[in-house]
Structure 1
Amino acid sequence: MQTITSKVAFFQVLTFFWLINVSFAQSGRQSFQVFDQATGQPIPFVHIKVENKEGTGTTSDVRGTFSISGFQEGDVLIFSHVGYQRQEVTFSRLKRNPMVYLVQETQELETFEFSAGENPALALVRKAIANRDINNPEKLKSFRYASYNKMVVTLDGLTENPEVDDSLVNFLEGGHLFMSETYSEVKFKSPGKRNENVQASKISGIENPIFAAVSTSFQPFSVYSDHIKILEIPFVNPISEDGMRKYDYFLEDSLQTDWGKTYLISYQPKSGKSYRLGKGLLYISSRLYALENFLLKPAEEVGQINFEIQQKNRFDGEHWFPEQMNSIYVFSELDFESKKVKLVNQTFLSDIRINDLDPKEKISPIGVTFDLAKGEKDWAQLRMDSLSTREFLTYQRFDNLDPKIKRRLNSGANFLAYLSTGRVRLGAVDVLPNRIFRFNQYERFGLGLGLSSSQSLSDLFRLEGYFRYGFQDKAWKYGGSLGFLLDSEQDIRFQLGYSQDIEEPGRTLLPRGRSFTTSGLVYRNFLLSRVDEVQRYFVSYSQMPLKGFRYKLIGSVENRVNVLDFAESSPPDEYVSRFTATEAGVELNYVGGESTTRVGNDIVSMTLSYPVIGFRLSKSIPDLLGGNVNFLSSEFKFEHQWSAGNSLHQLHMTAQGIWGSDLPVSYLNTGYGIQVQAGEGFDLPLVFPGFLQTMQVYEFLSDRSLHVNYAHLTGPIFTKKGKGVSIAPQLKFHQSFAIGSLSNPDRYDFIRFQTMERGYWESGLEIANLIKLNSGLNSQGWGIGFFYRYGPYALPDSRDNLRFTLSLTAAF
């Protein structure tokens, strides 16, 4: 089952938006603003030049604001922008009214066909691609800057004048639905070490700072990668080799500016292409052929969300660097009084310093941290953009709310914030929702409760406990732990605890992360039917020294009992089903490009990031604390997902090994199957990546094993859209292989199993999104899948080797 998820932060702030009306004065230069006459919205990146004067050109910023010095009364300014009628305005008129309104063109841009060598835009785009590494800010050795971020949730089409619109939406009282501001310090060191420290936060009606957006919440910082990721969906970058094959480019205009010539190029998908492609504008400077301005919107609607991202870069004489970023999201399924909900997130950078960080200066591996000093902030000094009338009234409306309503609003916000950490705060106690219900084939239904001390009780330590009753096995399970947060900068933790619970033999002990295999791991836990009864004492020490990397030192004493209710005969007398294992080891986990935020005492991953690498090595110590088994155990996991053009690639590899004599069945790998054995439970016919779809659960035993799976998802073969339903079939090819070995298999003759020395093969084909249903903010795609088992472990009847499944995808 494929899942395309969005950022956790995106859902938590899905009540914000944007409208701006400012006058941004600079010393010696008068400022003006350009608007769309139909919508009243500012127009970014408008070309403005003075007639018959070379070198006087400029471009409006993301707010539509611009300034030009050295005017004379008789000067005529020429305003031009793709999709708008050219307009001439005299300076004398502009002084009387500093706002210019452009009229949209009535026709779409014509499509032209160019043969090789005829299109001058292609040469410019190629030079921009060749200089990507030179102009990419994330290729610099280091940088730092101050970031002012403003995020507003409003209604699409509202003007700045409340008297015009509030007859339709009186409940806004002249303001927006919601808004927030943050002021941060950002530091970056190559390769990829980045921390945004939020030093001030202001949110309408809410005190929890996690609901305030930061500089990279809604669009990437760099626009030079092969794909521009928006809400976890990768769009092919027009400034890429693959983009050259998929887009048409048109040179629209050129302008002489302070640092050279700027070429305005529009781009759109080639005929017949649209999947994960955009359209928009490139402003390429003759100085290093950098992107001076960048505008991207989807070529076709993405789920139930339409967006536009804008970025303005500035040249400091040596480097190009982002100066302003603007993201606009319109939610087609959310509306009030026939107006769509819209979110606008704007970021303004200042105090930019490049390559001046001390090489010895440490940067927190946590992506977003909060350092909010108590007391009121002087936002007049922090803001790089003044508040508009509506924005001011938004704060005022929330400030004037009834205190009881304010408390409820904050309680709801805190609930959502801490729910992202797997916790629900109730005063000094946190409830752990994942401890309340449990369902599997052994316990059937398990009901319990998990409680923990909250951060309000102590920042230093956390005391947790849980209990659960299984209604089929009629047994209680319980446990508890005491943890200490020794250092918040690198998330250094020390924990010790005890549990009396059940555990499936042969399962991975690596922590479960967030990846394309997560749905399969959840379903595999549901299939649990074989268990050990385990009494465990444990201790651990963990640290996050680098971004995305965590290590953990572990020690435990386990008293295990094999529950052999699945055995076909009695085990031999020499087989030990009750034993004690004293174990010490290390876990290493790495998530490439992971974006994390500290929420209270917890670290929350905000994105799905790859590659995911996990490694665990442990050694039992016989005769220590009663230990009577001797083994060396290891596990390895590698998962990677990447896009190439319109295709998506997924690679999953896992290996397990244990070395020792007279090993209990508890430590043997039980295969990588996801199919329920006939007559042993409900079989859910869905595709679960990371598992063998035709292998039965518990079909194999191995003390050393390897499983590799590769999947390739194509773009849509064709697309047909209807109201609420569309057809956009995609092909997903699967190829899997597994191999394993087992020393002394006769020792386990009382269990039915096979070994995998000769290798297990499986191939599959999904036809995804045969039917795509739009529902709320997301869409669900349904299709079918076929998987076939072949090779040495093919079943005698070829029909038993074929498995039919459903394919389910979800996208926002």
Structure 2
Amino acid sequence: MKNLLILVLLIAFEGFSQSGSLFTIVDFDTNEPIAFANIIFNDDVYSGTISDIDGVFYASNTVQKITISYIGYASKTLNLSDLSSNKIPLKKEISALDEVVITNSENPAHRIIRNAVKNKKFNNPENLNAFTYQSYDKIIVDGEEMEVEEDTLNELGKFFEKSYLFITETVAKHKYLKPKFTEDSIIATRTSGLKTPSFALLANSIQPFSFYEDYITLFETDYLNPISKGSTKKYKFRLKEEYLRGKDTIFAISFEPNNNRNFEGLKGLVYINSNGYAVQSVDATTFNSGKIEVSIQQKYSFIKDEHWFPEQLNFQISIGGKYAALKYLGKSYLSDVKLNPPLTKKDFPVLPIGIQKDAVKKDVAFWTTIRQDSLTEKETRTYVVIDSIGEKIKFDKILNFSAKLVKGRFSFKYVDLDLTKLFLYNKFEGLRLGAGFYTNEDVFENVSIGGFAGYGFQDYEWKYGGELLIDIPGKKEIQLQLKYENNLKETGTSYFKHNQRLFNARDVLGEQMDQIEAFSFNTKMKLFRNIDWKVGFHTAKINPLYDYSFNANGTSVVSYTNSEINIGVGYFVNEKLSNIFNSITRIASDDPAFNLTYSRGLSNVFGSNFSYNKIRFTLDHSFRTKGLGKTTYRLDMGFIDSAIPYGQLFTGEGSYDNVFPYVFHNYFQTAEPYEFLSDRYVNLFTYHNFGMLLNNKGFFTPEVVLHNNFGIGDLSHASKHENIAFNIKNELFLETGLELRNILKLNYLDVGYLGLGAGGFYRYGFHNLPDSGHNFVFKFAAGFTFK
């Protein structure tokens, strides 16, 4: 039986070898593959093909002669019988600039681009009702030439000549159901130097799946797509070549942004097929992109004569300069495409990313069968070299260490150090130094026990606490937390923070504090797809550390006890998750994010004094207006139905501080932190980034940002809050500001820029101040950018 199988395979291979051959077109000087070159068979302009993303094309045995052409290269005609190698080099040619001829006729490329834009809705694969496919993904990280000492350069050069820094391969099955239901199931993964599937990456998860969105988002920068409405006024298009393929014509069109542009643009070549005026392939690179350059290549095929669908996706990032430079290359090959299969919502799990248990156990035979092409010598050597290094220095442990470092933990044997507890700063405590330690997987796999302590050098007090954390393995991502703390809480903040960032710069302004001794129990989980769920209970003894008393039916109350149950729900439209370091992470998105928290005060529970209902709702969203930039806003609303002490009400939405005048988003810029007190309010924080209005070239390229913030609120039973000053926002609060980002850009490690900017803000209307000069606030801003 075994011999029969071998015979069948040999016959199949012989039949394939007699039917034709594969050839690769490469650059004569660099040996890099040339994608999308036009090949004509036997001098018949209607017969031929186009090289794929790897420069590869297939020619049957009936083909005796080929003519190869590609923009910027000298055309070549040759007989296949004369070839001694399957690699065909093309030489670049130095040609004169395109002649500019002024006529009354329209640029022919514009007609084709407009037809492509007109047919976008039909050709976009994500407008299909459903589809499935399998992908083979390969990612390589390589070091580029760097300016280092000669001896070091020699050693690095020898290493990079023979091996890459990193390589990983992944095989995954994908499902999609309109509008945005997805599942990526990783069935095989292999990573140099690692034995666990913690670093299973999909090459097409970083780049857009198709070239049809109005903006192509790369590294949180939105690039205007040349295939978008009105792009003929933004881009220079030139019809470079036309290829005939049967009944169809392929138009090769170059594009680049117009001069004096004020938008982020791309340059490259797009190939439009007259069959539906669909994108057949595209080769695009970011234009004038600073310390980071991103290139994407996409090739589409016409599946079952029904619909154009991606077949190959390439992605390349070059980051850094002469001191630190890396190149990231990602390739995806799509196969087994099925259009409009009978999928329903029930076919999709709560978590859209999964790794099969045996994903890292696939043998050599599996990988040899699944690969589009065999590994190169350099790729093979990378596995050998990096696996050897990884075995010696325990890459898996280093990866686990790095994963914890991202979360703010420094791992030791048996315990993790909580880096977030090492030092804190706010205006009340000044500098707080401390430490936190938690047991790790060396003690218990899914249970962590720990605690923290810290000392404030301005209030001269210790803060401390302990907690028990339990992770329940499964697709719901359930976590339980039992906690005790003797700590500080800024007035107006919640014990139950929903979807808060690990670090909030606004915390440095915290000056009005309650001292709390609290016990709490919290749970969180992935309830449904796109929905996070939290439930918690806490009880706390509270002592205000500021001059204040609460009038409770004629009795003056300073310290009190409060018990509260909380329910939090977060809904994220078009939520996208990634699995990095074996941890599910939400990818930043402009799509709407809704957060709702309900709190119920429980009187007479553990000595609690108050009964109330508290609701807080936020909506965060960003959207683009073509040609005008991006608008980002937060709608923030809260309501409390009963009279409760100051520290449990809504305050702290201001951010003006003359010592630290920094631009804080989603806060009022001209109001002092605790200027207003409310038990019901509606705030709207907006800013619109016009982008680089002045120009996108040269050194001075600031981004122009317009801020408009509005708010209104009220406070019932205001007389109950004694010995403390506050205002009530029962009339509309208004402020407007203009911010210039990245006025000054400082080179940072030659991989990006630290951008410094400034803004001016003005409050007006009912809440303007008597001294008009006090209504104006000047602030500074800072950030990091690759451009």
TM-score by length of 2: 0.89
Q: Which moved more, 1:235-244 or 1:472-481?
A: 472-481
Aligned partners of 1:574 and 1:507: how far apart in 2? Answer: 26
Of 623, 632, 638, which residue of structure 2 is paired with 1:642? 623
Q: Do residues 148 (structure 1) and 139 (structure 2) align?
A: no
- Partner SS, residue 127 of structure 1: helix
Of 243, 257, 269, which residue of structure 2 is paired with 1:281? 269
Q: Is the 8 A contact 2:193 2:390 kept in 1?
A: no
Q: Do residues 763 (structure 1) and 736 (structure 2) align?
A: yes
Alpha-carbon spacing, 1:606–1:730, altered in 2? closer, same or farther (3 Å): closer
Aligned partners of 1:111 and 1:528: how far apart in 2? Answer: 64
Alpha-carbon spacing, 1:720–1:249, altered in 2? closer, same or farther (3 Å): closer
The alpha-carbon deviation at position 367 of structure 1 amounts to 4.6
Q: Is the 8 A contact 1:536 1:558 kept in 2?
A: yes
Q: Is the 8 A contact 1:640 1:650 kept in 2?
A: yes
Alignment of 1:360-759 (within 5 A): 361-373=346-358, 375=361, 377-378=363-364, 379-401=367-389, 404=392, 406-407=393-394, 409-455=395-441, 457-486=443-472, 488-508=474-494, 511=497, 513=499, 522-554=504-536, 556-567=537-548, 574-598=555-579, 602-645=583-626, 647-661=629-643, 663-676=644-657, 683-719=659-695, 726-759=699-732
Q: Is the 8 A contact 1:785 1:806 kept in 2?
A: yes
Alpha-carbon spacing, 1:246–1:27, altered in 2? closer, same or farther (3 Å): farther
Alpha-carbon spacing, 1:740–1:402, altered in 2? closer, same or farther (3 Å): closer
Alpha-carbon spacing, 1:155–1:603, altered in 2? closer, same or farther (3 Å): closer
Q: Is the 8 A contact 2:390 2:396 kept in 1?
A: no
The alpha-carbon deviation at position 601 of structure 1 amounts to 7.4
- Equivalent pairs counted in the alignment come to 759
- Partner SS, residue 404 of structure 2: helix
- Partner SS, residue 81 of structure 2: helix
Alpha-carbon spacing, 1:507–1:116, altered in 2? closer, same or farther (3 Å): farther
Letter in 1 for 2:302: F
Task: Provide the identity percentage.
Answer: 29
Q: Is the 8 A contact 2:200 2:580 kept in 1?
A: no
Alpha-carbon spacing, 1:221–1:547, altered in 2? closer, same or farther (3 Å): farther
Alpha-carbon spacing, 1:703–1:755, altered in 2? closer, same or farther (3 Å): same
Aligned partners of 1:721 and 1:267: how far apart in 2? Answer: 18
Alpha-carbon spacing, 1:671–1:539, altered in 2? closer, same or farther (3 Å): closer
Of 40, 63, 76, which residue of structure 2 is paired with 1:87? 76
Aligned partners of 1:410 and 1:192: how far apart in 2? Answer: 34
- Partner SS, residue 728 of structure 1: coil
Letter in 2 for 1:578: S
The alpha-carbon deviation at position 756 of structure 1 amounts to 0.9
Aligned partners of 1:402 and 1:182: how far apart in 2? Answer: 19
Alpha-carbon spacing, 1:429–1:593, altered in 2? closer, same or farther (3 Å): farther
Q: Do residues 30 (structure 1) and 21 (structure 2) align?
A: yes
Q: Do residues 785 (structure 1) and 759 (structure 2) align?
A: yes
Aligned partners of 2:69 and 2:41: how far apart in 1? Answer: 12
Aligned partners of 1:260 and 1:26: how far apart in 2? Answer: 29
Write the deviation string for residues 149-170 of structure 1: whole angstroms up to 9, x where unpaired: 1112224589xxxxxx989812
Q: Is the 8 A contact 1:71 1:91 kept in 2?
A: no
- Partner SS, residue 555 of structure 2: coil
Alpha-carbon spacing, 1:168–1:567, altered in 2? closer, same or farther (3 Å): closer
Q: Unmatched 5+ residue regions in structure 1?
A: 1-24, 159-164
Aligned partners of 1:701 and 1:669: how far apart in 2? Answer: 6
Q: Which moved more, 1:524-533 or 1:466-475?
A: 466-475
Q: Which moved more, 1:615-624 or 1:758-767?
A: 615-624
Counterpart position of 1:21:
none
Aligned partners of 1:666 and 1:116: how far apart in 2? Answer: 72
- Partner SS, residue 660 of structure 1: coil
Alpha-carbon spacing, 1:403–1:308, altered in 2? closer, same or farther (3 Å): closer
Q: Is the 8 A contact 2:117 2:227 kept in 1?
A: yes
- Partner SS, residue 321 of structure 2: strand
Alpha-carbon spacing, 1:167–1:705, altered in 2? closer, same or farther (3 Å): closer
- Partner SS, residue 169 of structure 1: helix
Alpha-carbon spacing, 1:135–1:72, altered in 2? closer, same or farther (3 Å): closer
Q: Which moved more, 1:692-701 or 1:268-277?
A: 268-277
- Partner SS, residue 504 of structure 2: helix
Q: Do residues 314 (structure 1) and 301 (structure 2) align?
A: yes
Counterpart position of 1:19:
none
Aligned partners of 2:467 and 2:606: how far apart in 1? Answer: 20
Q: Is the 8 A contact 1:198 1:370 kept in 2?
A: yes
- Partner SS, residue 49 of structure 1: strand
Aligned partners of 1:639 and 1:360: how far apart in 2? Answer: 26
The alpha-carbon deviation at position 258 of structure 1 amounts to 6.5
The alpha-carbon deviation at position 459 of structure 1 amounts to 4.8
Aligned partners of 1:370 and 1:422: how far apart in 2? Answer: 25
TM-score by length of 1: 0.86
Q: Is the 8 A contact 2:26 2:55 kept in 1?
A: yes
Letter in 1 for 2:123: N
The alpha-carbon deviation at position 687 of structure 1 amounts to 1.6
Write the deviation string for residues 156-190 of structure 1: whole angstroms up to 9, x where unpaired: 589xxxxxx98981234622232222222222222
CA RMSD of aligned residues (A): 3.0
Of 193, 215, 234, which residue of structure 2 is paired with 1:205? 193
Q: Is the 8 A contact 2:570 2:596 kept in 1?
A: yes
Alpha-carbon spacing, 1:173–1:671, altered in 2? closer, same or farther (3 Å): closer
Which structure has more relative contact order (CA 8 Å, sep 6+)? It is 1
Alpha-carbon spacing, 1:545–1:128, altered in 2? closer, same or farther (3 Å): farther
Q: Unmatched 5+ residue regions in structure 2?
A: 1-15, 147-152
Aligned partners of 1:658 and 1:29: how far apart in 2? Answer: 76
Q: Which moved more, 1:143-152 or 1:101-110?
A: 101-110
Aligned partners of 1:472 and 1:626: how far apart in 2? Answer: 32
Counterpart position of 2:35:
44
The alpha-carbon deviation at position 383 of structure 1 amounts to 2.1
Aligned partners of 1:445 and 1:291: how far apart in 2? Answer: 58
- Partner SS, residue 524 of structure 1: helix
Q: Is the 8 A contact 2:651 2:673 kept in 1?
A: yes
Q: Which moved more, 1:286-295 or 1:460-469?
A: 460-469
Aligned partners of 1:763 and 1:800: how far apart in 2? Answer: 14
Counterpart position of 2:6:
none
Aligned partners of 2:104 and 2:442: how far apart in 1? Answer: 67
Q: Is the 8 A contact 1:567 1:752 kept in 2?
A: no
Aligned partners of 1:808 and 1:801: how far apart in 2? Answer: 23
- Partner SS, residue 399 of structure 2: helix
Counterpart position of 1:105:
93
The alpha-carbon deviation at position 796 of structure 1 amounts to 1.5
The alpha-carbon deviation at position 393 of structure 1 amounts to 1.7
Letter in 1 for 2:691: G
Alpha-carbon spacing, 1:649–1:29, altered in 2? closer, same or farther (3 Å): farther
